[in-house]
Amino acid sequence: MASDFKARQLDTDPLPEVYLPYERFPMIRSMRVVMRFAGPVGAMVRPVREVLAQVDATQPVYEFETLEQALDDSIAPRRFQLLLLEVFAAAALLLAVIGIRWRDGMVRGTADTRDRRTYGFASRGYEIVMLVVKQGMRLTLVGIRAGLLAAACLTRLMASLL
């Protein structure tokens, strides 16, 4: 009686398995042997090869790994996806902080300049509004250009990673 065994990935349900005697089905050219033992993997390589050679000397034995190594290999794609998500989140947070700080400083400077100009041009309200809008548009265009440049640079970087 064998219990369920997740042979591929841990985040999927185990598939139904059929255990067949190798002597009756020699056309099966690939098999996985899972063993529980105490000690280093290297100590079991020779005995396992000898036992498998007694069953079928033409069957190559090509990989020995611990359960921890198999687990790491199973979750490596998910780990990479989470790392990419963390990098994108950190980049977004950094850009947001820079944008907020920059905007805050620029708005303060614009408000100080506008207050000084309003005193002298109190009768010209339309001109003052247009001046403030122009300054705001300049800041917006500078921000868009900086964002597009950063996006282009990060796109090339992320394309090399993918």
Q: 56 phi and psi, to 5 degrees?
A: -155, 110
Q: What is the pLDDT of residues 141-160, one digit of tens each?
A: 888 898 888 888 888 777 76
For the segment 61-88, the average pLDDT, to the nearest whole number, is 85
What tokens were used for 122?
């109190």
C-alpha count within 13 angstroms, C-beta hemisphere, residue 53: 7
pLDDT tens digits, 120-131: 555 566 777 788
Confirm if 52 and 61 have CB atoms less than 8 A apart: yes
Q: How far apart are CA 114 and CA 118, in angstroms?
A: 6
Q: What is the pLDDT of residues 85-119, one digit of tens each?
A: 999 999 989 988 887 777 666 666 665 555 555 55
Does residue 15 or residue 51 have the better pLDDT? 51
Q: How many CB atoms lie within 10 A of CB 52?
A: 16
The pLDDT value recorded for residue 137 is: 85
Farthest-apart Cα atoms in the chain, separation? 103
- Residue (of 99, 79, 82, 26) closest to 56 by Cα position: 26
Res 7 pLDDT > 70? no
Question: Three-state secondary structure along 49-105?
Answer: HHHHHHHCCCCCCCCCCCHHHHHHHHHHHHHHHHHHHHHHHHHHHHHHHHHHHHHHH
Which pLDDT score, from 0 to 100, does residue 86 have? Answer: 94
Residue 105 confidence (pLDDT) = 66
Q: Name the phi and psi angles at 59, rounded to 5.
A: -80, 115
Q: How many helices (H) and strands (E) does the chain have?
A: 3, 0
The mean pLDDT value for 68-84 works out to 85
39: left (phi over 0), alpha (psi -120 to 50) or beta: left
pLDDT surpassing 90 at residue 78: no
